[in-house]
Amino acid sequence: MANIAYFEIPADNVDRAKHFYKNLLGWKIAPIRTPTMDLKSMAAMEYQEITLGDPTLGTMNMGGMYKRQGNEAIRNYVMVEDIDKVLAKVEKLGGKIVMPKEMIKGVGLVAIIQDTEGNGIGIWTPKM
């Protein structure tokens, strides 16, 4: 069964949102620094990496925050073994593929779908 493995929080003001979550929940939030990603586009998005507390059974401990680009809501990413197998079912079940499968360096294969109710959810197969 697939579990939620990552989440993203869009923010109109990234610094204000960082302050809120750091002080409310004690999350560590810092600009992402990795040589394998397109740092120019990440900088333009003001992308931040969120590290939660130590992982415990049944919880996740990582996420991201970025400058809102439109009317996005918090997005969860479900980790699946075979992204192609999952994407093949989306439209048959009444959903839509919003962002086709894409390889993100150092992360893996990612796609975004919309469910039958209009909610967006990310599908992720980690880099192996």
Whether pLDDT at 105 is above 70: yes
- Token digits of residue 12: 């109109």
| Fold (topology level) of 1-72 | 3.30.720
Q: How many CB atoms lie within 10 A of CB 43?
A: 11
Give the start-to-end residue ranges of the domains of the chain.
1-72, 80-128
Per-residue model confidence as pLDDT tens digits over 36-66: 556 566 666 788 988 887 776 666 778 889 8
User: Homologous superfamily of 80-128 in CATH?
Assistant: 2,3-Dihydroxybiphenyl 1,2-Dioxygenase, domain 1 (3.10.180.10)
Mode of pairing for the β-strands spanning 3-11 and 62-67: parallel
Distance CA 128, CA 110 (A): 13
